[in-house]
Structure 1
Amino acid sequence: MNQILLYDFLTFMNDKNWNKADLAKYSGIHISDISRVFNNKKPLSLHYLDAITEAFGLPEGYFYSSYTQLCFNQNRYLDKRRSVAFIYKCAINGFDKELDFIISEMLEEKSKTIRTKNLQNLYEIAEKLFAEGKEKEALPLYEIIIDHMPDQTAEEVAISYFRKYYLNRLTEEGPATLVHVLEYVSYMPDDFQELTILWITATYYMLKQWDKVLHYAKRLEKMAKNEKHYGYALVYQGFALNRLSNSLDEVLEIIKKYGKINDFFAEAAIGNRYVTLLDFGELHYADEYYDWIKDRDDLYVGIPRIIESYVKLGRLEDASTLINHHEKVINEMANSSNMYKQQMYLDFCYAQSILKCENKQYIEGLNDLINVARKVKNVGIIEKFKLCLLSIWHYRDHLTDQLNEDYIQMLSDDKNQASNLYAMST
């Protein structure tokens, strides 16, 4: 233990009139370990430091600025056990000053071998954070690995590019991260290559870029060793073929194919068959689809399409009843942080706006259509954007001066056009 920490501990003990036995009692650390730490016979672990801090009644991290020195051994190399625990704790609790100091020391290491080892340890911490759902905290660590790993072909770099892409895929940074991840796919282990192509396919599905969906889904089908990935490759091909004006029989055939993989995909095939039939104009299947999906956890997926089908059939009252009956599910979509549910909510808003217009609530319906158009344009969902424009044009005779002004403003708003670069990615 360094002299600064020892002095601080003794000062607080003196203020409280404590001896080592008292510190052991209130910290829960055995007195023999307290003595060994104070006499430099045992390293001060982060766990012990936090226990002593709490015993003194101080906030967590009070001594962290002094503890940074204990993350290094006598040769001034980072001690893996202490530094890994410390970096992780600083990352999740926002001790940025201490975290920056440790990382800067890691990066200033002159030995390429040791610097590589340090960054490999940092990668392990980033992966731990990512696995625990602490993605925001993991991202800066992945970026450090990308920028500073001596061997830029290392799999840690390639996987870090994938993680960065995954976390930014539907933001303005998405196009740039996609370009990089495609460059590094070949440096990834096989399982990560599959995972990367799967998520690229899923991203293009979210953006409704169907030619890209089909391309990467076929690529995934060829490389997939994981049964689940193989199934999704076929599912995405079915979605893409549906949208790319292929025949109904061709789409139903591929649905039949993945329906034989396992029980999960067999169940998905039932729902996707209904969706395909509705998309091909077989609107009389709307009630069957609703009966199948209404008690499922993924009901939110079907609500927009069923509403649209009812509107096209002229069953406006049934569409309104469905909305009222499933208000809770719709509110959950509206407030969800899940990207897919957010997109489904936009699909619902579109369907509801058409329903309002058909019910002659033109001002409210057109206002909703303009808002949906703005949102899908900003995230690069061009197919939906065009559909909104067609619908606005259909009801154009009911545009007020204010709505027309909002419509023109929406068309000229190019703040987020960067997202549309997905359409040009390869």
Structure 2
Amino acid sequence: MEWTNSIREKLIKHIQDNRIKHSHFAMTSGINSGTLSRILQGSRPISMNQLTAITSGMGLPEDYFFNDYIEECFSFLVSIRRIRPFIFRCADLNRVDCIQQVTDRLLEDLSYVPVLFDIAEELFEDNRYSAAAILYRGVCEAEKYQHSERLAMCQYRLFVIDLGEDLEENMRAATKFETYVNRLDEAIQLEALKQLMHVYGTLHKWGKVEILAKEMHRIATIQYDLQCRSVRPSEIKRLTGRPIYYYILYANLARATASEECGDYKRALEFVALYAEGESWIQEKDEESASIIGQFSEWATANTFLYRLKSGEIDVLKEYIDYIAPQEDEIFIAVRHIIEAANVYHFNIDGILERFKKYIPTEWERAEFNKYESTIIKEGYAQFLTDLAVYRFNENNDAVSAIKLVLEGLKLSIKMNSGKNIITCMALFEKYRDFANAKAKELFKKLSSEVYHLNEKKNAILPGSL
């Protein structure tokens, strides 16, 4: 058989060439002498631990025999007890090529689909995403004509794995996954809808956010009503780590944000009132519910000030600042929105910028804050740079600073492939071009070339992206 000419043959040659006694190799490698003899005779399959011991005893890199071991796994009776630890070790050593081969071989028999899915879930929980993605894609291919919850779950996991800093890639991942979301268990649906809203929010697709938030509210309301009528505990918290009522509050928060971003501050305030009053209807009276209700109440207070400010009530600014000042994690977000209002209503905020300057990152790499996804913060930071540039130019007549901010925003927007922010930055630079020095113009030329190549890449993949 083919396997006799791989690991065993090389081990026998190593022992003979180095004139090592079997008993000595068994002792140094830690393999039982009788077990070693049966392995060499080909009457016993090699376990993953034994493979590691053999490789170590021969002084070879740990993954030296991995390609040979794939044949070993399938030459005897196929055993998941051997294959599973092999997949995990491949994941540790980034041998995704071997994982792909094992997956392809196993899926020749579709009875192994459930096992592969379970292994993928273990890898995902251990944050071994590259390895898990191979198994999930294999399961998706095997079940592509099914309408199973397992297929939907694989698509959800792949969506999460594929999310990154590239906003256009995130949109493609979201668009592909969205057709599967309603096949998921209700608990997983709620989390999936939340992540979809994050993606579409960074892309400024607020109509989509509104639709997804309404669906989240519908599902969570039904589930919470069922929970309140039942004596059995809900599965949603066990699966998501959050109680059902959290998603009702969050859906209203998301709809308020979507209304705000569309300029409908009156409607936004209506939704603020809904997530501010959780205490009046949430039945749980434990420490967790008090914490969640308190958090949404704080956001409601802050956002009430914000939406009034954006509506043109400039007098509310001092109250807003005094309220937000003790909440360090929220300061940068608040300052960002205050700059937007300042640019619309033309009021000076130099004192506010000076007061909170230590909370304003000077470069995007530092723009990491608690309670916010890093991609959301970075996209918001790119907007902040352009808004601050406009403020510096209009209020301070500081063209040098404005140009620098625009170029910094453009660099970050290109890195994130944020089309909206790229267009804004390029338009602002052209507006301020007469104030730019030669160095700034050269940098803009270089960045414009990157935008061109980015657009070429987008056009190349567009036909097959959906």
Q: Indicate the TM-score class for this superposition, using the shorter chain for normalisation.
A: 0.7 to 0.9
How big is the shift at 1:70? 1.8
Residue 386 of structure 2: aligned partner? 350
Equivalent pair of 2:140/2:155 in contact (CA under 8 Å) = yes
The worse-fitting range, judged by mean Cα deviation, of 316-325 and 369-378 is 369-378
Residue 257 of structure 1: aligned partner? 277
Matches within 5 A, 1:14-413: 14-39=16-41, 42-72=44-74, 74=76, 78-107=78-107, 109=108, 115-149=109-143, 151-169=145-163, 171-224=167-220, 225=223, 226=236, 227=244, 228-244=246-262, 245-247=264-266, 249-258=269-278, 262=289, 263-281=291-309, 282-294=316-328, 296=329, 300-305=332-337, 313-324=347-358, 332-333=366-367, 338-357=374-393, 358-369=395-406, 372=409, 376=413, 379-380=417-418, 382=420, 398=435, 406=444, 413=452
SS of structure 1 residue aligned to 2:168? coil
How big is the shift at 1:316? 1.3
Residue 112 of structure 1: aligned partner? none
What is the one-letter code of the residue matched to 2:154?
S
Q: TM-score when scaled to structure 1? A: 0.78
Q: TM-score when scaled to structure 2? A: 0.72
Q: Distance in 1 between matches of 2:118 and 2:72?
A: 20
Q: Distance in 2 between matches of 1:152 and 1:387?
A: 44
SS of structure 2 residue aligned to 1:292? coil
How big is the shift at 1:194? 2.5
Q: Provide closer, same or farther for how the CA distance between residues 373 and 331 of structure 1 changes in structure 2, counting only shifts above 3 A.
A: closer
Q: Distance in 2 between matches of 1:206 and 1:329?
A: 19
Q: Distance in 1 between matches of 2:301 and 2:55?
A: 61
Q: Distance in 2 between matches of 1:326 and 1:411?
A: 27
Equivalent pair of 1:255/1:273 in contact (CA under 8 Å) = no
How big is the shift at 1:409? 5.4
SS of structure 1 residue aligned to 2:64? coil
Q: Provide closer, same or farther for how the CA distance between residues 264 and 389 of structure 1 changes in structure 2, counting only shifts above 3 A.
A: farther
Q: Provide closer, same or farther for how the CA distance between residues 117 and 289 of structure 1 changes in structure 2, counting only shifts above 3 A.
A: farther
Q: Distance in 2 between matches of 1:257 and 1:33?
A: 69
Equivalent pair of 2:250/2:275 in contact (CA under 8 Å) = no
Q: Distance in 2 between matches of 1:255 and 1:220?
A: 14
Q: Distance in 1 between matches of 2:97 and 2:211?
A: 46
Percent identity over the alignment is: 19
Q: Provide closer, same or farther for how the CA distance between residues 253 and 389 of structure 1 changes in structure 2, counting only shifts above 3 A.
A: farther
Q: Deviations over 1:169-212 (max 9, x none)?
A: 55434444334323223433333322322221222222232222
How big is the shift at 1:399? 6.5
Q: Distance in 2 between matches of 1:345 and 1:88?
A: 38
Q: Deviations over 1:303-357 (max 9, x none)?
A: 5345667886423144145224665997521799931232243244234434543
How big is the shift at 1:256? 0.8
How big is the shift at 1:268? 3.9
How big is the shift at 1:40? 5.1
What is the one-letter code of the residue matched to 1:196?
A
Residue 3 of structure 1: aligned partner? 4
Query: Which 5+ residue runs of structure 1 have no aligned equivalent?
Result: 110-114
How big is the shift at 1:363? 3.1
Q: Provide closer, same or farther for how the CA distance between residues 255 and 91 of structure 1 changes in structure 2, counting only shifts above 3 A.
A: same
Q: Deviations over 1:73-99 (max 9, x none)?
A: 546xx3222223223332442335533
Q: Distance in 1 between matches of 2:331 and 2:20?
A: 63
Aligned residues: CA RMSD: 4.1
Equivalent pair of 1:116/1:150 in contact (CA under 8 Å) = no
Aligned residues, how many?
410
Equivalent pair of 1:333/1:344 in contact (CA under 8 Å) = no
The worse-fitting range, judged by mean Cα deviation, of 38-47 and 195-204 is 38-47
Q: Distance in 1 between matches of 2:320 and 2:431?
A: 24
What is the one-letter code of the residue matched to 2:4?
Q
Q: Distance in 1 between matches of 2:201 and 2:168?
A: 17
